[in-house]
Amino acid sequence: MGDFYQNGIITTLHNLSRRPVEELERELVGFSRKRPMGLILPSLYSELEGEALPRIVGELQQVPYLAQIVIGLDRADEAQYRQALRFFAGLPQEHRVLWNDGPRLQALDRELQELDLAPRELGKGRNVWYCMGYTLASNRCESVALHDCDILTYERSLLARLIYPVAHPRFNYEFCKGYYSRVADGKINGRVSRLLVTPLLRALKKTVGDIEYLDYMDSFRYPLAGEFSFRRDVLNDILIPSDWGLEIGVLSEMYRNYANNRLCQADIADTYDHKHQQLSADDDEGGLSKMSIDIAKALFRKLATRGITFNTETFRSLKATYFRIALDFVETYHNDALMNGLSLDIHSEEKAVELFAQNIMKAGEAFLVRPMERPFIPSWNRVISAIPDILERLQDAVEADHAQFSATVGLPLVKACK
């Protein structure tokens, strides 16, 4: 029997019948006539040379309902941007590659920096923010999906199931979060979600009390999934972090801006695997160590905006409460793995818990030391208020890059529709 259980306060859309992807796509083609759909792909240049992104592009070539694909390209010089144009040329959908390191977009970024409106650090959050700006500027899509470019097990059914809830004309969802099982190669993955986020949310409930926001966050089956979809109007006033707190920050913003019945989560894949971050126990600026600090800070900041007061004693109690709950989770996942014939290394799991416990304290100390830290990139509404023609200029910069370099790599020059 399929798992149809509704847990928490967010609607869960299950994969109960394994509908063929072709059937889903036929419906989506129909939806697209009234509600055009797009896709955002935040990518590093190095991912073009990996195993996952060529597979993703091959699958996307078969997708019939997308009106636009927006690719954010980070860490690329001119030669690599040219290669990216060639790489994505096989996509039949209209697409644009944002050369984030190119002179035109860099000049725009410097202008925003002078007004303190630009993202303050490099990373996925900054890449996604500029892609969202271009999506607003081009005004071609009403429903938009976003997913990572390192998904080794990618199938186009993932995209269909991800965008379906916000594309269906009779659904009222503004946002859909994807979830999936993190089991691959005989192992249970997803350490940060399993061993940090869920135990930390449960520990916060014990430490600061039952708060609807914590129930809301605890309702998501995989809160750190990089796959979500949304209606276009979400893009105008969302505030997103530029660090590893992006996924938590997006969920928090949706809680702030919309009623719970406008949000959902959907089962989008039977299997999911991507590149794995190192634990980086000796480096707070890298790997899962930095990720855990950024995620904890994102939760603390959100709770502070809801009137919760933190001090050093609070964080000490939180660390101790978290540690006990997380160790219990290690035993739970170990037993689950054994029953399913999977492997789970208790020693490495508990090492991760010990690191995360330390990093909860580090995140707490950083929160107390820098209470005025601005964690979010400004909303596009604010940027437009300061520079009314910013979206047109962003689109013009992207189109100018495309026009200048497409011909030099032997691609036909296709002007984007406005």
What is the reported pTM?
A: 0.93
pLDDT digits (tens, 9 = 90+) for 146-174: 999 999 999 999 999 999 999 999 999 99
| pLDDT of 2 over the 60 cut | no
| pLDDT of 281 over the 70 cut | no
- Section 98-111 average pLDDT: 98
pLDDT digits (tens, 9 = 90+) for 319-363: 999 999 999 999 999 999 999 999 999 999 999 999 999 999 999
Say which range, 173-187, 342-356, 362-376, 384-398, has the weakest mean pLDDT: 362-376
Asked if residue 287 lies in contact with residue 191, where contact means CB atoms within 8 angstroms, the answer is: no
**Dist. CA 226–CA 377, nearest whole Å:** 18
pLDDT digits (tens, 9 = 90+) for 205-248: 999 998 999 999 999 999 999 999 999 999 999 998 877 778 99
Higher pLDDT, 277 or 204: 204
Phi-psi region of 412 (alpha: psi -120 to 50; beta: other; left: phi over 0): beta
Q: Where are the domains of the chain?
A: 11-409
> What is the model's pLDDT at position 105?
98
Beta-carbon contacts of 377 under 8 Å, excluding residues fewer than 6 positions away, are 118, 119, 120, 125, 126, 129, 239, 240, 241, 242
**pLDDT confidence of 418, banded at 50, 70, 90?**
very low
Helix (H, G, I), strand (E, B) or coil at 66: strand
Asked if residue 286 lies in contact with residue 278, where contact means CB atoms within 8 angstroms, the answer is: yes
Q: Name beta bridge partners: 53.
A: none
**Dist. CA 3–CA 187, nearest whole Å:** 22
**Dist. CA 418–CA 416, nearest whole Å:** 6
Other CB atoms closer than 10 Å to residue 412's CB: what's the count? 7
| Averaged confidence pLDDT in the chain | 92
What is the full DSSP assignment across 271-288? ---B------TT-TTSHH
Asked if residue 239 lies in contact with residue 254, where contact means CB atoms within 8 angstroms, the answer is: no
What CATH number belongs to 11-409?
Answer: 3.90.550.10
Residue given tokens 């006033």 in the structure block: 237
